[in-house]
Amino acid sequence: MDSKAWFERAKQVIPGGVNSPVRAFNGVGGTPVYFKSGKGAKVQTEDGTELVDFCGSWGPLILGHARDEVVEAVAKAAADGLTFGANTAKEAEFAELVCSLVPEMEMVRLVSSGTEAVMTAIRLARGYTGRRKIVKFDGCYHGHSDYLLVASGSGLLTGGISSSAGVSPAATAEVFVAPYNDLAAAQEILRNNGGEIAAVIVEPIAGNMGLVEPLPGFLEGLRTATAECGALLIFDEVINGFRLGPTTYGHMCGVKADLTTLGKIIGGGMPIGAIGGRRDVMQKLAPLGPVYQAGTLSGNPVAVAAGMKTLELLRDESPYLRMEILGQRLAKGLNRIAAEKGMDLHCAQRGGMFTPFFRKAPVNNLADAKACDIPTHARYFHHMLDCGFYTPPSAFEVAFVSAAHAEAHIDAFLEAFGKL
Ligand SMILES: *Cc1c(COP(=O)(O)O)cnc(C)c1O
C-alpha cells in the first residue's frame, strides 16, 4: 500500500486522516507522505522512495533520525520499565543536567509536551503574580491550550484561521496580542494595563510563522518593560532551546526570562516538555505551592533517557558550528539561485533553522510572512518532494538542517531548487 491508499484508509477512522492538522498537506495540496523509517538525514516512505528530510519531525531531531546512541538509551530504559508513576534517579539527573546547561533555570519540572509546558507556565505566572492577563505576539505559537489559540502561528496559519472554534471568548479575552518585533505596541499594552498582566510570553526567535529573528532591542525592551510592571517574562523555547548551542537562546543572548519552556529537542524524539526558571516562582508549583500541575507520565523514564542522551551528545559533540555553516550554505545558495532566476525569495536562516520566504523583502512579523507568495511555496514544496527532499508542508514553518546532514545533501538540494 502506498501513501495514497494509507491516507484513504486513515481518513475513515482518524479525523482528516491525521493526528495533527498540518500533516494533512492543506497548506500545499496533494497527498501526505507516509513515513516508514528514518536513519540520519534520510527517511524511507511507504511509496518505496527515499527522501532527505529537512523537517526533522518539526524540530526534535537535531541529531537526525534514529541516532544509534539515543536508540540504545531508549531500548535500555524501556527494558527496565516503561513507566512507574514514581520517582527515578534518572529524572533527577536529567533535571540537574538541564539546570547546569541553562543557568537561568534554577528549577525545572518535566511534562509530556510543549503545549503542557506552556500551559503550566501561564498558570504558574498567574498564580505567582495573582494577576490574570497575558500578552502574546501575533504569529507566535505556544501550543493548543485555549487562551493561547488567539492569533497563533503554525498549523493554524496554514488552515487560514487565526483562532479555533470551541475556545471560550472568556479565555481569550484575557490575552492581549501585539505584532512580533513591535516593542512600542507591547510597551503601550503594559503601560495601560500593567497592574493586570501576569506575563508576557514570546518565542525569542519566532519559529511558527517561518523563521523570524528578534530585531535588536526587542527582547531587551520586553525584559525592562515586564520588570517595571511586575509581570513575568516567559521565553517559549520549545523550538529555540538547544537549537543554536547546548543551552537556551535566552542564555545565549543574555536576556534573562523569569520562566522558560522547553520541548522538542530535549526529548530527543520522545514526548516531553519542561518548564523552568526562577526558584521563587517554581516553588509556587504543587506540592510546594498552590499552583496545581500533575502528569501520569511526567518525567517518563524512556523519554528522559532519550532526552538525556541527546543533550549529552549535543554538549559533548557540539555540532552547532557545522550546522550554522551548512545552514548558511543552503540559505545563500537559495538566495543566489533565486536572484539568478529573478524569483522573489528571501531565505531566513539561523544555525540549522531556515525558511525560504517567497518575497524579496525580509520578514519581521506575521503581516510580512502573510504577504509571501503561497502558491509558489506550494510549487516549491512539491518540486522538492519530487526531487527527493522533504521540507515542512506549509509556508509558515521552519525547516531544519540537522547534525546528520552533510554538505552533499545541501548541494543536492540546491541543484534541485535550480530546476524549479
Ligand atoms: C511546538 C511548539 C509548542 C507546542 O509543543 P507540542 O509538543 O507540539 O505540544 C509550543 N511552543 C512552541 C514555540 C513550539 O514550537
Cell 527527493 found at: 388
Pairing of the two strands 42-45 and 133-138: unpaired
Cβ-based neighbour number of residue 8 at 10 Å: 12
Distance, CA of 345 to CA of 137 (rounded, Å): 25
Q: What mean pLDDT comes out for the span 396-409?
A: 98
Q: Comparing 20-34, 156-170, 196-210, 271-285, which segment has the lowest mean pLDDT? A: 156-170
Active site members? 141, 236, 264
Give the model confidence (pLDDT) of 346-395 as tens digits.
999 999 999 999 999 999 999 999 999 999 999 999 999 999 999 999 99
- Contact 249 CB / ligand 1 (< 6 Å): no
Confidence of residue 328 (pLDDT cuts 50, 70, 90): very high
Q: Ligand 1 centroid vs 143 CA: distance in angstroms? A: 5
Give the model confidence (pLDDT) of 276-322 as tens digits.
999 999 999 999 999 999 999 999 999 999 999 999 999 999 999 99
- Contact 208 CB / ligand 1 (< 6 Å): yes
pLDDT of residue 156: 52
- For the chain, domains (ranges, CATH) are 3-54+319-417 (3.90.1150.10), 68-316 (3.40.640.10)
Q: Ligand 1 centroid vs 48 CA: distance in angstroms? A: 31
pLDDT above 90 covers a percentage of the chain that reads 92
Q: Which atom of ligand 1 is nearest to the CA of 237?
A: 13
pTM of the model: 0.96
Pairing of the two strands 197-202 and 175-179: unpaired
- Contact 236 CB / ligand 1 (< 6 Å): yes
Distance, CA of 345 to CA of 190 (rounded, Å): 36
Ligand 1: residue of 18, 55, 141 to mutate (most ligand atoms within 8 A of CB) is: 141
Cβ atoms of residues 209 and 369 within 8 Å: yes
- Contact 265 CB / ligand 1 (< 6 Å): no
Cβ-based neighbour number of residue 52 at 10 Å: 22
Q: Ligand 1 centroid vs 307 CA: distance in angstroms? A: 16
